[in-house]
Amino acid sequence: MDTMTNWHERLIRKTTRPTLVTTYRYWVWVAFLVAIVANGVFQYSKQWSEGLYVTGMRDRISWGLYITAFVFFIGISHAGTLISAILRASKATWRAPITRIAELITAVALVVGASFVLIDMGRPERIFNVFRYGRWQSPIMWDVMAITTYLTASVIYLYAPMIPDLALYRDRLANKVGFIRRFFYETVALNWRGLPSQVRFLGKAITIMMLLIMPIAVSVHTVVSWIFAMTLRVGWNTSIFGVLFVAGAIFSGVATLVLVMATLRRMYHWEEYLTPKHFLYLGYLLAAFAGFMIYVNINEYLTEGFKLEESGEFAFRQLFIDDFAAMFWFYVIGGLIAPIVIMLIPKTRTVAGVVVAAILVDIAMFLERYFIVVTGLRVPLMPYEPASYAPTFIEWSIFIAGVALFLLLITIALKVLPMFAVWEMTEEHELAIARQTEPVLQTGYEGPAPGVSGSPGPDGLTEGGLS
């Protein structure tokens, strides 16, 4: 068990490193992000006083970059919760080191995505009308309900499995961090002592949240798609939109997860825990979803393009040949085909290869959201010249500020929250070791560990929340 203890101590040391060590570079990075966000706030203040006049949107293309950003970030939020819930439910043992990061991305992306709805509103100061006069018949209300539910659920789902780790931080870092953080850990660790009753309770809570979160997550991006699909617009008026949006959401979510993981791995030397295996598995997931996206897209475009109803020709022409062709074909080739190819060729089937694929996928999915929003609105409804739309400097500034805010929130979380589910990883590691000696017993075992740092013992097996 000596190796085990060493392993465990090393894991704690590595996990707490971002919390304890604040480098000069960290502050430069934070300052850089704060500056970008501040510029976004400043640009928004102009929009606040002058109205949406300062954007490139007009009557005929009345949604643009902000709604694109909304859809994109809400999509990214599917990284975490859904992935970690699916992996937890399917008892994929390799998930332990990535769930926390994934769940964090979810919560942060949701906050950023939801704020773009506010930014897009003509009268943001009237937001409370949504609660005062809300009509449940409106797709926007569905969104409000789904997103608030999802945010609540994913914060709980981020928090619950973190409690043992927060308790670990409380116990281990008591003398190493300032008063505020000490107080914080003491409060949020909720008196966790790793007692069997607590373990049982936590196990149940995680299982319930895991089961709840999957339908909630699926519903969220489905209703986001319904904002578009509930209209009579050519290109939006299709029943496949829900599927397309949910698949795209998980797709871009996995890609973002890969990118965040790769960055942290490099920065904090977490190679031991975020192994090439994790990247490869996520790469396979990317390739699988790319395949599924191709299938859904064929469904979408063939059923519409075959019949080519009124305005259909215009819609296809602008997408395939004219104004949006570059974006569309980048999406198809770079975003859908390239990840599959990268994962097929052994030479590129590496961590670097997966990271490249993830970058391509994120860019492609952003472009896809953009051309879905803009091309749908651009198809003329009456005999008039098609309008054009280009985001203004202010729109870009605010969008980039949104990206910066996303990174900033993760950066701050890094300072405070344990990025690894230490107890789950310890659990897995012990099982892995045990498996080498006694393979039959532990097959498929999956469950929360009983204690903060202790070994589970045979009792842990029967008390596992998931079994």
Partner 1 sequence: MSKRVETAESPPEPRREIPIPLDAVDRRTVLKYIGLGALGAVPLVASTQLMDGLVKDVVTGPEAAGLAAPTGDATTKFGRVRQWTMIIDLAKCDGCQSQGTPPQCTTACIEGHFAPQPMQWIEIYEAELSGGGTQFIPTPCQQCENPPCVKVCPVGATFSTPEGTVLIDQDRCIGCRICMAACPYDRRFFNWGKPPIPPEAALADYSPEQQTPASRGTVMKCDFCPEMVRGGTLPFCVQGCPNDAIWYGDFEEDVATNGRQIVKATQLISERNGYRLKEHLGTQPRVYYLPGHGEDIGRDPENEGRMPTEWPWIERAEGAVTWTR
Binding site for partner 1 (CB under 8 A): 50-53, 55, 57-60, 62-63, 117, 120-124, 126-127, 129-130, 132-135, 137-141, 144, 227-228, 230-233, 376-377, 380-384, 387
Alpha helices (H) in 238-384, listed in sequence order: 241-268, 276-307, 312-320, 325-329, 338-344, 351-378
Give me the numbers of helices (H) and strands (E) for the chain, helices first please. Answer: 19, 0
R_g of the chain, CA atoms, integer Å: 23
Nearest to 446 by CA among 216, 163, 169, 210: 210
- Give residue 227's identity as a one-letter amino acid code: I
What tokens appear for 55 in the block?
């954007």
CB of 303 to partner 1, least distance (A): 18
Contacts of 280 (CB under 8 A, 6+ apart): 349, 351, 354
CB of 417 to partner 1, least distance (A): 34
Nearer to partner 1 (CB atom), residue 237 or residue 275: 237
Q: What are phi and psi of 438, to 5 degrees?
A: -135, 75
Nearer to partner 1 (CB atom), residue 45 or residue 191: 45
Cα distance between residue 427 and residue 460, in whole Å: 10
CB of 394 to partner 1, least distance (A): 13
* Residues 89 and 100: beta-carbon distance below 8 Å: no
Nearest to 366 by CA among 312, 401, 395, 327: 327
CB of 216 to partner 1, least distance (A): 20
Nearer to partner 1 (CB atom), residue 130 or residue 288: 130
Nearest to 210 by CA among 157, 150, 159, 151: 157
CB of 227 to partner 1, least distance (A): 7
Q: What are phi and psi of 391, to 5 degrees?
A: -60, 145
Nearer to partner 1 (CB atom), residue 226 or residue 423: 226
CB of 367 to partner 1, least distance (A): 20
CB of 409 to partner 1, least distance (A): 25
Nearer to partner 1 (CB atom), residue 188 or residue 230: 230
Nearer to partner 1 (CB atom), residue 219 or residue 231: 231
CB of 122 to partner 1, least distance (A): 2
Nearer to partner 1 (CB atom), residue 28 or residue 127: 127
**Angle 351-378/65-76 helices, nearest 10 degrees?**
140
Nearer to partner 1 (CB atom), residue 133 or residue 179: 133
Nearer to partner 1 (CB atom), residue 346 or residue 383: 383
Cα distance between residue 38 and residue 451, in whole Å: 43
Cα distance between residue 342 and residue 258, in whole Å: 15
Cα distance between residue 327 and residue 345, in whole Å: 25
Nearer to partner 1 (CB atom), residue 50 or residue 459: 50
Nearest to 448 by CA among 432, 419, 416, 425: 425
* Residues 172 and 11: beta-carbon distance below 8 Å: no
CB of 393 to partner 1, least distance (A): 16
Nearer to partner 1 (CB atom), residue 41 or residue 141: 141
**Angle 351-378/276-307 helices, nearest 10 degrees?**
30
What tokens appear for 34 in the block?
């704060």
The HSE-up count of residue 119 (CA atoms within 13 Å, CB side) is 31
Cα distance between residue 360 and residue 341, in whole Å: 12
CB of 58 to partner 1, least distance (A): 6
CB of 382 to partner 1, least distance (A): 5
